[in-house]
Structure 1
Amino acid sequence: METFLLQATIYLGAAVIAVPLAARLGLGSVLGYLAAGIVIGPLTGLVGSEAQDIQHFAEFGVVMMLFLIGLELEPRTLWGMRDRLIGLGGLQVLLTTAVIAGVCTWLGYAPQTGLAIGLILALSSTAIVLQTLTEKNLMRTQGGRSTFSVLLTQDIAVIPMLALLPLLAIADGTPVADAEAHAALSLVDGLPGWGVTLVTVAAVAAVVLTGIYLTRPVFRYIHHAHLREMYTALALLIVVGIAVLMGTVGLSPALGAFLAGVVLANSEFRHELESDLQPFKGLLLGLFFITVGAGIDFALLAAQPLAIAAAVAGLIAIKGGILYALSRLFRMGGKDRWLFTLGLAQAGEFGFVLVSFATQRAVLDPGMGQMLLLVIALSMLATPLLFLGYGWLSARMDDDDPKPDADEIAEHGTVIIAGTGRFGQMANRLIRSAGFTTVVIDNDPATIETLRTFGIHGYFGDPTRPDLLAAAGIGTARVMMVAVDDKDAATRLVAYVRRIRPDIRIIARARDRVHVYELYAAGADDIVREMFDSSLRAGRYALETLGLSAFEAAEVQAIFYQSDRAMVRELATLWKPGVPVAQNAAYVARARQLNADLETALAARAQSGEDGGTVIPGDGTAADQNRRAD
C-alpha cells in the first residue's frame, strides 16, 4: 500500500509542477506531461518498470476521450464525414504504409518486416493530437475536422492490422509467449472466419442496441437512489464494459467507445455522461503521457543517437510529405493545410500495442521492437513542438479563404441593420413583419447565404465602410441599428454615423457594461445589452420558484430593470476611457451607493406591500427619456 501511495505521489507531484509551468510558457499541457515523465523516469529514476503496467491502465483515458468525442457527433454528422473517413483517412494509411515499407526494404529489411513497420508507423497519436486541438480551439476548423477524420480512420484500421500482422511472421522466428493474451477472455478463439465475423457483428449490434433501448431505463433506475456517485459509477461502467466487450472479440476498445458515444449523442443523458467522465479522462490522459515520457529508453538512444534521430526525422518527413500532398489534393487552405500536415506527422500510442503484438508473434525481433518503441515515443514527444511550429506559421499567414467582393446595394431602407447574427436577425424579422423596409449588411458571406436560403435578403460587405452605408441610404434612413460582433468596430460605426447624421436614431448592441459606456460616449441613443433582458427573465423565474407570485416577481423585475437602467446612465458620466472601473474611485463609490439604494428600495417595497409605490433613483428625467441603456 505504501509503495502504491508513494508512486501516486510521484506521478501527481510531477504533473502538478510541470504542467502549469509548461502552460505558462505556452508549450501546452501535453509537453508538460511528457517532460514530467522524462524527469521522474530516465533522468532521476524515481519510477521504473511499473510505468509500462500503469500505461496499460492509463490507456483508458484514450478510450474515454473517444467516447466523449462520440457524444459530440450525431450519427448524421458522422455520415457526413464519410468522404474524409474513407478517402482522406484511407489514403493516408495506405500511402504511408507503402512508402515506409518501401524505404525499409530499400534499407535491406525483409519485405514482411518493412510492411509491418509501415503499418505500425502509419498511425498517429490520437491522444496527443486531439488533446492539443481541443486546448487550442482548433477542432472546429477544416484542418481540425480533417485531422480527426484521419485519426478515426486509423483507429478503425488497427483491427485489420492486428489480423494481418501474424501473417508477416519471420519464417525462422520463434513467437514470444504471451501469458496475458492466453489468460484473457476471448469470444472468438477457435472460431472459423464466419464465426468470428458473426460474433463481432453481434458485439457491435449489442453496443448500439444497448445505447438506444437500455440507457434510459437504467438511468431512471439509478436516479431513484438519489446518490450522485451512482451516476459516475454508471458512466464508468458504460466505458469499461464496452472496452471489455470489444477486447473479447478482438476489436479496438477506443473504436467501440466512440461508436457508443455516437449512439448516445442524441440522448438526454449526454451532458450527464460528459460531466461525470471529463475529470477521469483528463487525469488518465495525463497519466498516459507521463508514462510515455518515463518509458523513453535513453540508454538505447545514447548507444545509437544518429540512427534513432535519423529514423525520427525521416518518419516525420515522410508522413509530413504525404499529409501535405493529401491536403493539397483535398483542397485545404493554407493554415488548415499546415495544421493537418504537422498535427499528424508523428507515430501513435497504438503503435506501442502493435509493436508488442508483432514482437510476440515473431514478426519483429526484440531489438527492432525496442528501436521502434523509442522512435514512436520520441516522435510523440516532438508533437507539441510541431504544433508550436504550426502556430508560428499560421501567425504569419493570411486567412485561408479570402472573402469575396462586397455586394452592390441597390435599395434604400428605413432601417439599416449592420450585423445580422442572432441579435440582428430577430430585430430584422420584427421590423419587417410590421411593414417597414430594412437593409441588412453583414461581413460574413455564410450568414448572408443562410438568410437568402430562407428568403431574407441581405448584402455582404463591411458595414463600417462609408460607401456601403451611403449606398444603403444612410442619408435618408430613420434608424441605424448596430449589431456587429466586433466591439471596437461597433463603437467606431456609431461615432461615424452620429457625425454624419446627427438626427438619426442609433440603436446599438453592447457586449457588457463598459461597452455601454463606450457606445454612450460615441453617440448611441438606445443601447441594448445583449443578455440583459434574458437574464432578468431567468431571474424572475427563479423568484417565482422561491415563493413569490407571478405578479410580485414581475414587479421586482420591473423595479430592477428601471433602476439598473438609471444606474448605467448615471455611471456613464463617471466612466473614464482607458481607466479600469475598479481603479476609478468616484465610479466605484457611486456604484456601491446605487446598489445599496436599490436593495433598500426593494426591501422597503417588500415590507410595505404597496403597489407601484417605489421611487426609482434617477428615473424620469429628460436626459433619461432621451438616452436609453437597457
Structure 2
Amino acid sequence: GQNAFSVLLFQDMAVIPILAVLPLLGSGAAHTDAHGGAADAWMAAWPGWAQALVTFGAIILIVAVGRVAMRYVFKAIAKTRQREAFTGTALLVVIGVALLMTKVGLSPALGAFVAGVVLANSEYRHELESDLEPFKGLLLGVFFLGVGAGIDFGYILEHPLLVLGGALGLILIKGLILQCLSVFSGLTGRQSLVFSASIAAGGEFAFVLISLSLASGVFPPDTGRALVAMVALSMAATPLLILLSQSILRRGLAGQEEREPDVEDDGNPVIICGFGRYGHAVGRLLRISGYGCTVLDNDSDQVELLRQLGIPVYYGDANRPDILALAGASRAKVLVIAIKDEAAASTIISNARRHHPHLTIYLRTYSRTEAYSYLGQGEKHIYRETLDSSLRMGEDILKQLGMPAHDANRAAKAYFIRDEEMVQAMAEHRNAEDGEYMNVAREAVKSLDELLRSDLKAEDRDPGAAGQAG
C-alpha cells in the first residue's frame, strides 16, 4: 500500500514540470479560457523558453508567497473562531491560484493542485482538511463526470484495435516498469504482482495533460481522442487487473508442489508456533536468556526472510500432529501458540492435548472472545496481546497527570487482576443469547469499577497489604 501510494504521489508531483514544459512542444495554438478569450494572449508572441520561464516563475512565486503569507492569514482567521471563514478562504485561494495559472498558459487543474500544496504546508492543514471534506466527494464526482463526457465512444467503435492495443500497451509497459521498481524496493513476487496490477493504468492527471496538449497544439484532435479513450479504458480495467492478479496467485499456490517441511528436533524446551510480531518478541527474549526455542511457521516467505536475517526458523504447519512430533514435542516442556488464526490455534491445542499432554501451553489471543473460547477448552495461560501495553500506557498517563508512581503502578496491577477475573467469569456466558450476554456484561463492567475502587481504597488504608499484594 505504501509503495503504491508513493508511486501515485510521484505521478501527481511530476505533472507540474510536465505542464510547464508543454508550451515548448506546442505549435503555438491559443489556449482559450471559459470566456472565449486568449487566457495567455499577453505572452503569445513570446518565444517558448520565455513562456516556460514565466510559468515556472509563477509556480515558484505562488508556493513561496503561500508559505509565508497564508500562515498569517489563517492565523488571523483562527482568532475569529468562524469555521465558515476557513472554508471560504481555502476555496478563494484555490480559485485564485487556478485563475492565475490560466493567465500563464497552464490549466486551472494545475492551479488547484499547486494551491493544495500551499494549503498542505499550513499548520492549520488538519482543520482545513476537516472543513473541505464535504466538497471532496462532490468535486471528484464532477471531475470524473467531465472525463466520462469527454470520451468519444464513436471514435472507439471506429478504431477498436487502435484503442484496445494502446490501452493494453500502456498497461504492459507501465506494469513492466512497476515490476522493476518492485524488485528494487524488495517486494516479494506476490506483492509485486498485486502492486503492479493495482496502478498499471493511466492516472487521472493524464486527462489534464491531454487537454492542455490539445490546447497547445502538441498533437491533433484525433490523437487526443485516441489517448483519452486509451487512458479511460485502462482505468476501467484496473479492478479486473487486480482480480486477475489475485486469481493468478491463487492458481499458482494451488498448482505448485507443496513445500516439504524441514522441521528438526533440536531438543529445545520450548516450541513456538508462529514467529510474527508476537512470537518474535517471545522467542528472542527466551533465546537471549539462554533457553533454546524451536520455531515453526507455515509462511514460506516469512521463513526465508527470517533465515536471511540469521534467525533459525523451520518451515512447517503446526496444525499437523506429525510436525509437532518432529519438532520434539515429546521432550519439550512448553508450547507457545502465537498465531492469530483462532481455528488453527484451536487445532494445535487439540492435537497437543491428545498427543503431548505433558506440554504447558501458552496462548496469544487477539480479543476477549478468543480468550473466552480458549478458556472453554480448559486453557489457563492466556495472554491478550494489547492488555499489558494498554495498561502500561494508562499507568504512564496517570503519572503524567500527577499521580505518584507507586499509586499508578498499584492501580494498573489492580485493574489487571480484576479484569482477568472478569474474563474468567464472562467465559461461562460465552454461549448465552445476545440479550442475556449483554446484561451479564453490563453488570460485570459495573462490578469491575466498584471492585477496583474498593481495592484502591483498601490499599490506601493498609499500605502494608498493598506492598505484599505487589
User: What is the rounded CA distance, in whole Å, between the counterparts of 1:569 and 1:547 in structure 2?
Assistant: 33
User: What is the rounded CA distance, in whole Å, between the counterparts of 2:123 and 2:134 in structure 1?
Assistant: 20
Partner letter of residue 368 of structure 2?
R
Change (3 A) 1:176 1:572: closer
Match of 1:593 in 2: 443
Residue 394 (structure 2) pairs with residue 533 (structure 1): no
Of 562, 572, 575, the match for 2:427: 572
User: What is the rounded CA distance, in whole Å, between the counterparts of 2:264 and 2:372 in structure 1?
Assistant: 32
Match of 1:493 in 2: 348
Q: Give the Å deviation of 1:314.
A: 4.3
Change (3 A) 1:512 1:362: closer
Partner letter of residue 293 of structure 2?
T
Match of 2:172 in 1: 324
**8 A contact 1:416–1:438 mirrored in 2:** yes
- Partner-residue secondary structure (3-state), 1:398: helix
Spell out the pairing of 1:56-95 with structure 2 (5 A cutoff): none
- What's the % identity of the aligned pairs? 28
Of 366, 375, 397, the match for 2:248: 397
User: What is the rounded CA distance, in whole Å, between the counterparts of 1:502 and 1:345 in structure 2?
Assistant: 56
User: What is the rounded CA distance, in whole Å, between the counterparts of 2:59 and 2:338 in structure 1?
Assistant: 49
Of 503, 511, 516, the match for 2:371: 516
Of 207, 223, 238, the match for 1:351: 207
User: What is the rounded CA distance, in whole Å, between the counterparts of 1:324 and 1:513 in structure 2?
Assistant: 47
- Partner-residue secondary structure (3-state), 1:431: helix
Q: Give the Å deviation of 1:461.
A: 4.0
**8 A contact 1:441–1:459 mirrored in 2:** yes
Q: Give the Å deviation of 1:606.
A: 6.2
Render the CA deviation track for 1:427-452: whole Å, top value 9, x for unaligned.
22222222111222333455445545
Of 404, 418, 438, the match for 1:563: 418
Spell out the pairing of 1:126-141 with structure 2 (5 A cutoff): 139=1
Match of 2:143 in 1: 288
Of 343, 358, 362, the match for 1:507: 362
User: What is the rounded CA distance, in whole Å, between the counterparts of 2:291 and 2:72 in structure 1?
Assistant: 54
Q: Give the Å deviation of 1:503.
A: 1.6
**8 A contact 2:24–2:52 mirrored in 1:** no
Render the CA deviation track for 1:19-77: whole Å, top value 9, x for unaligned.
xxxxxxxxxxxxxxxxxxxxxxxxxxxxxxxxxxxxxxxxxxxxxxxxxxxxxxxxxxx
Change (3 A) 1:218 1:439: farther
Spell out the pairing of 1:359-370 with structure 2 (5 A cutoff): 361=217, 364=220
Render the CA deviation track for 1:384-437: whole Å, top value 9, x for unaligned.
5x3453455356433468796654546332222222222222222222222111
Match of 1:372 in 2: 225
Larger displacement relative to structure 2 (483-492 or 464-473): 464-473
User: What is the rounded CA distance, in whole Å, between the counterparts of 1:426 and 1:486 in structure 2?
Assistant: 18
**8 A contact 2:167–2:231 mirrored in 1:** no
Match of 1:554 in 2: 409
Change (3 A) 1:347 1:201: closer
Render the CA deviation track for 1:360-394: whole Å, top value 9, x for unaligned.
759646xx59x939x9479748845x345345535
User: What is the rounded CA distance, in whole Å, between the counterparts of 2:163 and 2:413 in structure 1?
Assistant: 67
**8 A contact 1:320–1:341 mirrored in 2:** no
Q: Give the Å deviation of 1:531.
A: 1.0
Match of 2:24 in 1: 163
Q: Give the unaligned 5+ runs of structure 1.
A: 1-138, 170-174, 621-630
TM-score (norm 2): 0.71
Partner letter of residue 561 of structure 1?
F
What is the aligned-residue RMSD (CA, Å)?
5.2
Render the CA deviation track for 1:250-297: whole Å, top value 9, x for unaligned.
6776599589969x89x998877766665544442133234445x469
Match of 1:82 in 2: none
Q: Give the Å deviation of 1:224.
A: 8.5
Partner letter of residue 518 of structure 1?
S
Change (3 A) 1:219 1:597: farther
Q: Give the Å deviation of 1:513.
A: 0.9
- Partner-residue secondary structure (3-state), 1:315: helix
Change (3 A) 1:432 1:309: same
Render the CA deviation track for 1:498-544: whole Å, top value 9, x for unaligned.
22221211111111111112223345431111111222233334445
Spell out the pairing of 1:426-505 with structure 2 (5 A cutoff): 426-448=281-303, 451-452=306-307, 455-505=310-360
Aligned residues: 450
**8 A contact 1:348–1:376 mirrored in 2:** no
Partner letter of residue 214 of structure 2?
A
User: What is the rounded CA distance, in whole Å, between the counterparts of 2:23 and 2:305 in structure 1?
Assistant: 46
Partner letter of residue 25 of structure 2?
L
Change (3 A) 1:498 1:193: same
- Partner-residue secondary structure (3-state), 2:291: coil
User: What is the rounded CA distance, in whole Å, between the counterparts of 1:202 and 1:347 in structure 2?
Assistant: 26
Of 148, 157, 172, the match for 1:309: 157
The structure with higher relative contact order (CA 8 Å, sep 6+) is 1
Change (3 A) 1:608 1:500: closer
Q: Give the Å deviation of 1:607.
A: 6.2
Spell out the pairing of 1:15-94 with structure 2 (5 A cutoff): none
**8 A contact 1:413–1:477 mirrored in 2:** yes
**8 A contact 1:347–1:376 mirrored in 2:** no
Larger displacement relative to structure 2 (477-486 or 324-333): 324-333
User: What is the rounded CA distance, in whole Å, between the counterparts of 2:48 and 2:310 in structure 1?
Assistant: 56
User: What is the rounded CA distance, in whole Å, between the counterparts of 1:362 and 1:206 in structure 2?
Assistant: 27
Larger displacement relative to structure 2 (282-291 or 197-206): 197-206
TM-score (norm 1): 0.55
Change (3 A) 1:424 1:364: same
User: What is the rounded CA distance, in whole Å, between the counterparts of 1:209 and 1:461 in structure 2?
Assistant: 58
User: What is the rounded CA distance, in whole Å, between the counterparts of 1:362 and 1:214 in structure 2?
Assistant: 36
Change (3 A) 1:592 1:289: same
- Partner-residue secondary structure (3-state), 2:248: coil
Match of 1:42 in 2: none
**8 A contact 2:271–2:335 mirrored in 1:** yes
User: What is the rounded CA distance, in whole Å, between the counterparts of 2:125 and 2:283 in structure 1?
Assistant: 35
